[in-house]
Structure 1
């Protein structure tokens, strides 16, 4: 039995963790095996890389940053994602290649095509069955993060608003380029409304019908 690979993308504060938690519970209620994971940080090695790229003090060269994400992805896909898919699980993942393209390829100016090529090689060509893009105004997202954690931001969250606006535009451009893979949801809606939209798309993908009610 082949599993399904679903990624969640979006800017800071868009609600990826909340939506993944709600979706995982719903899928498990309907008998699906779910593996929740994230990039970076879905493995022990990934946790160490996450600490470096998000919390390391001092400057990290953009190419080094991109390659650290790629290294995490290569190990994560081989040791976590592909084995779970082979077991027939639904993998729900917070961030994947689209984040690297948006953050490092576009916002860091390294080149979207170049970063996608490196990322595809690292992932050995693994493409999500569905990518949920939680689209949110940058100011609203930063306000949510500040409300949840105070003014404590990681390296990427600390970038200027213009950087995050560029990231948002890059995500939307990716969705425009691959509408068959992306579901774009207005993340400024209440969480229950967002979840209904997500469940409708995921239910169609995994064979759960008529169950996309309120969260």
Structure 2
């Protein structure tokens, strides 16, 4: 059913509002993930519990950032336009700042995880599991996984990736190909970082069974295999 509004202005404003709703709530989930981790509180369990409320709550989930051609961009058209009307859209801009910081936070968490294993991030071999901006597509626009990749390389890590939908990608003026996911290859990495939740074409059980460290920023492995994976010593969620 098509919902008709009074003018193209209202139609475009509707799109902006919907995307702004998402960027703000993504930022809230991400900020809660950061502060709850510091407090030793399980953000995923908290969201699941809050989602049982039949009204007043819409679940959003933390992750390595936001991507795509809508959420990271459209709200800032409004930010720009609002300045013509002498208004500063503080909530939108702060939400963008929080989300933009998530790739750096993911790398900081990975550094802490490796440090506990007496392993520095520099020269560590890291696999990114998924580089598309969302699951089961090949779209890389504004993908936070690419920003995680960049941050890792800044810290001296050696990065490769597996993505069943992105067989190759242009990276710093070179074409980089996805690795072929095998048990021996997974074992060779110091850590595997899930940066995209692909529901299909990823053998999460095999990765869990063979990874030295499996750092899941999307709760993908629990979603795929169930909560029994939480007992695995090598499995850590954002």
User: By the TM > 0.5 criterion, same fold?
Assistant: no
Q: Which of structures 1 and 2 has the bigger CA Rg?
A: 2
Indicate the structure with greater helix content: 1
TM-score by length of 1: 0.30
